[in-house]
Structure 1
Amino acid sequence: MRIIALILTLISAPAAAHEFWIEPTAYQVEPDGSLEADIVNGQEFAGVKLAYLPQRFENFALFAGNQTTRVTGRPGDTPALQQDPVAEGLNIAAYQASNATVDYENWEKFQSFVDHKDFGDVRSVHDARSLPLEDFKEVYSRYAKTLIGVGNSAGADRRVGLETEIVALTNPYTDALDNGFQVQVYYRNDVRANTQVEVFEKGAQDEVVISLYQTDENGIATFPVRPGYSYMVDAVVLREPSDALAQQFGAVWETLWANLTFAVPQ
């Protein structure tokens, strides 16, 4: 049974609030091992594994230190990531999905999503823009990262050029974790202060605990982690789409989803 603990507020996620993440087969591998990871779309840290399909992403790359390489594969490959490490140490896989859309039949469904992600008073902006309260569209994009330790797992996460991005300030495979795990959330070149961060903790039996945190004035959130668990961190930007994007997709709102996964060794 999945255990859902919502800290700070008690809410239920709407059907549209699906997370999108990279989930490695193993979060730590030997230097001569292979990096393997699924691209997953779902909820509560469980979902559908997606194949390697170039038409579905804008960028898919690996990083280690100052080195970078593209993720290559054959259409239909599962897991979507099957590649040698960039180097020994902390390897970062990053994936930017192509734009997609979701339809809202009524305002109540969108308001549920707004409340869940703590976007504030969106309704007044919606009304001021003279937007419909029924049958409107949102366009969204996904920016997912994962941390895989190779060999000694040494190194640090860093920005890799995503429009919105979560950067781990802690190395889960080498750093002391007694004082918690820290992430910093970015949108373009700015940190996202006072922003909700959703943390999913998954145990060996696939039990999941979901907790909500707020970033501080420096865009940093700190949360406790436990050995033997894997983690997914999620933060979402809501904005008005550009004229070009609105025309292309018929959307009146745009969301950008940042995601980071990692595990804590036993």
Structure 2
Amino acid sequence: MTLAPNARDTLFDLTGKVAVITGSSRGIGRAIAIRMAQHGAKVVVTSRKADACEKVAEEIRSATTLNGEAGEAIVVPCNVSEKAQLQALVDTTIKHWGRIDILVCNAAVNPFFGPSKDIPDDAFDKIMDVNIKSNHWLCNMAAPDMARRQDGAIIIISSVGGLFGSNTLGAYGISKAADMQLARNLAVEWGPQNIRANCIAPGLIKTDFARALWENPEISKKATKGYALKRIGDPDEIAGAAVFLASAAGRFMTGQTMIIDGGGMVNFQSV
């Protein structure tokens, strides 16, 4: 096989694409926003707090893309648990940039740490509402615009917690398993319109969201005991997979869940 001219340069190129990334003021979402902008995407930075989003947007604007151009980003504050705010996020993006090419559903919550039998109803409902229902809403709000152009990529940030049971993160794991099924359903329903939907399931990543797991040395050691790489991951190590799924490099992949966990699942028997 002979590579086309500049194929190495264009395979991961996102120039001209518009990417909406929820929960992108910090952690994995921030890393994805910065890397997608670096690869040429126009990025919508969104979370509940506008000031935190603006810091990320400024970081993008002050940097240059791989093509040597200035990074582009706008801020659209949004509480993903509010359906009207999600619709406003979609509408504002389309009004500003005329389209949505890439949607990354990264925002999530986990207000409870402990056995599922002890979780209060309001905490369980919050996990399901934010981690599943809001993704369902937002994906189906953004997909029609993608369908009109017969092109789009949806990426849902799930977790390896959705692949096994836990006596401390049970409800969270249920929601993340549901996110994987959501991606499969979206892939089937929107695939004829050339819209791809996939999940990324990270293992333990050094973010504020997972601070309770990695800040405590004893818990961190236990959590990574079975990891083949014997360490926790970095947000930027998830961002690369998101760029792949959003770009031409991933255009024949849909309905799948990419596990990025330092070899935790393949080495599970050693836990």
TM-score (norm 2): 0.31
The structure, 1 or 2, with the larger RCO (C-alpha pairs under 8 Å, 6+ apart) is 1
From the two aligned structures, give the one with the greater helix fraction: 2
TM-score (norm 1): 0.31
